[in-house]
Structure 1
Amino acid sequence: MRHWLVIDLEATTDEGGWPLRDMEIIEIGATLATSEGHEVAHFQRYVRPLRRPCLTSFCKDLTHIGQQQIDSARTLAQLWPAFESWLLAQGSRLAGWASWGDYDRRQLEQEWQAQGLQSRLQQFPHLNLKQSFASSRQLTRPVGLNMALMLAGMHFQGRQHRALEDARNAARLLPLALPH
């Protein structure tokens, strides 16, 4: 059986948002799920940002991630091998990876390039679940994760704007978003 890796990232930001080039990952959440949306394995880590190591009040309030969690975390370059080892341990079950929208893919690609990191994910197709869900439901425009869950008759489980919970909730929509 082939599985999908659904990834969600939390990143540094402030009220009004920052351009992608100014954002840095502060949490990685990934769930390996069946095409029916059932979790098989997961990965979650906090990440210490390098350029702006102090989280803004807005960022802390939004993500419920504290400064102490970030201060004691490893940098992306330090923890990326652990992610790759975890991914490798999942074997050849991976059909591709996905995220709700394109932000997570673009942020990872930016960080990989800036820090000279390689990833097995670069060998797999990326699926924008937000676009795919909108297409499969014939929506006039893509909707947020919360609205998509409501349209599917589901409720958000866990705390919003936490990487693993967001990834898990997006994975629940896989059966409704995967191309047939």
Structure 2
Amino acid sequence: MEEQKENRVRGAHHEAPAPAPAPAPAPPSQLAAPAPGSTHRGQHHCRLDGQDNNEKISTCHSNDFSDPIYKEIAITNGCINRMSRDELRAKLAEFKLETRGVKDVLKKRLKNYYKKQKLMQKEPVDGESYYDYICVVDFEATCEEGNPPEFIHEIIEFPIVLVNTHTLEIEDTFQQYVKPEINPQLSDFCINLTGITQDLVDEADAFPQVLQNAVEWMRQKELGTKYSYSILTDGSWDMSKFLNIQCRISHIKYPSFAKKWINIRKSYGNFYKVPRNQTKLTIMLEKLGMNYDGRPHSGLDDSKNIARIAIRMLQDGCELRANERMHGGQLMTVSSSAPVEGAPAPQMPHLRN
């Protein structure tokens, strides 16, 4: 988990298998059906079609949203806000959408479904403008209990979980352990936390070879050539700290394909409107109605669970975009208005001078 990684650097991330992709959306005409029990607590009748005879039509503050369709969306959002959790689940079930999650998640899911349907009527979505794949990466690194300030963290597990954004399924995985150089003997704390034994790292390749193997695996998937893709992590630390430090230890330049990534914590917080302390892996899973599947602090299991969160967010209508990058060795934010650009084809970085 990110909080564990923060503790390591300052002184490991994390349902049933990924849900099947949502069925084809219900015809837009179905959106005009009255919400089940929509006369909430004796209040006026509310329809999910933007037509509410008992409510004043809200006006948009931006000229960009002056189209009447946005007024319909705004009115519908008001109706959804007044629905109970049972009403929300019933309407989601009617549209064959996921019904698990806390009330705020259910509201966001229904709002985004309706908004997408209305906007598709206005202008079909360009399916070519988004990533074909997302590569979820969650490194595990050497650590000690109460890490001393001078302790240097080395990557000891390199996992990648490949998410197909069209099928919304985990398509494949890559995982290799890494032999540390500076601290080749794992601490008992690290072994107990990650489940990675001394034998596993003793028999593993050094980081440059493992990185080369990961690059070859990504090339076989035709990422960055035939298919567009982005890296996704649970927080900033995997790329800005662990990979950055490891490349310096291994005397190789930082790989160009990992210079931009999706920090799912930021994406989750912005999309579901929750504070940073509610974006820890286990909490995100819980709020989405899911349980952690596997062994906590296993890099591969953490990556799979992060992938499940990403899939659920995509199902809920979130467009996961690269929101962080490395520039000049420093962590920086990518503007939300920046165009969606896939990462370059993976290549093994050159040696440092």
Higher gyration radius (CA): 2
- Higher share in strand: 1
8 Å CA contact 2:244, 2:254 repeated in 1:
no
8 Å CA contact 1:37, 1:174 repeated in 2:
no
CA distance in 2: counterparts of 1:85 and 1:18, whole angstroms:
36
* Structure 1 length-normalised TM: 0.90
8 Å CA contact 2:154, 2:245 repeated in 1:
no
Residue 245 of structure 2 is aligned to residue 110 of structure 1? yes
Structure-2 change in CA distance of 1:140 and 1:32 (3 Å): same
CA distance in 2: counterparts of 1:32 and 1:18, whole angstroms:
35
* Structure 2 length-normalised TM: 0.47
1:96 aligns with 230
Match of 1:147 among 262, 283, 298: 283
Aligned-residue offset at 1:114: 3.6
Q: Which amino acid aligns with 1:110?
A: I
1:9-20 mapped onto 2 (5 Å cutoff): 9-17=139-147
Structure-2 change in CA distance of 1:158 and 1:94 (3 Å): farther
Match of 1:66 among 156, 181, 197: 197
SS in 2 for 1:173: helix
- More displaced 10-residue stretch of structure 1: 16-25 or 101-110: 16-25
Q: Which amino acid aligns with 1:156?
A: Y
1:127 aligns with 262
2:319 aligns with 179
Match of 2:216 among 85, 88, 92: 85
8 Å CA contact 1:11, 1:26 repeated in 2:
yes
1:7 aligns with 137
Aligned-residue offset at 1:104: 0.7
CA distance in 2: counterparts of 1:79 and 1:121, whole angstroms:
15
Structure-2 change in CA distance of 1:15 and 1:153 (3 Å): same
Residues 49-93 of structure 1, C-alpha deviations (whole Å, 9 max, x = no match): 000000001000001111111111111012221110001111132
**Which structure carries more relative contact order (alpha carbon 8 Å, separation 6+)?**
1
Structure-2 change in CA distance of 1:17 and 1:151 (3 Å): farther
Name the count of aligned residue pairs.
Answer: 179
SS in 1 for 2:243: helix
Question: What runs of 5+ residues in structure 2 fail to find an aligned partner?
Answer: 1-130, 321-353
Aligned-residue offset at 1:122: 3.5
CA distance in 1: counterparts of 2:309 and 2:150, whole angstroms:
26
Dislocated runs of 4+, deviation >6 Å: none
Residue 273 of structure 2 is aligned to residue 138 of structure 1? yes
User: How much is the aligned-residue C-alpha RMSD, in angstroms?
Assistant: 2.1
Aligned-residue offset at 1:148: 0.6
Q: Which amino acid aligns with 2:274?
A: L
Aligned-residue offset at 1:48: 0.5
Structure-2 change in CA distance of 1:14 and 1:21 (3 Å): closer
Q: Which amino acid aligns with 2:296?
A: Q
Q: Which amino acid aligns with 1:179?
A: E
Aligned-residue offset at 1:18: 5.6
CA distance in 2: counterparts of 1:138 and 1:151, whole angstroms:
12
Question: What runs of 5+ residues in structure 1 fail to find an aligned partner?
Answer: none
8 Å CA contact 1:7, 1:98 repeated in 2:
yes
8 Å CA contact 1:84, 1:120 repeated in 2:
no
Match of 2:305 among 159, 162, 169: 169
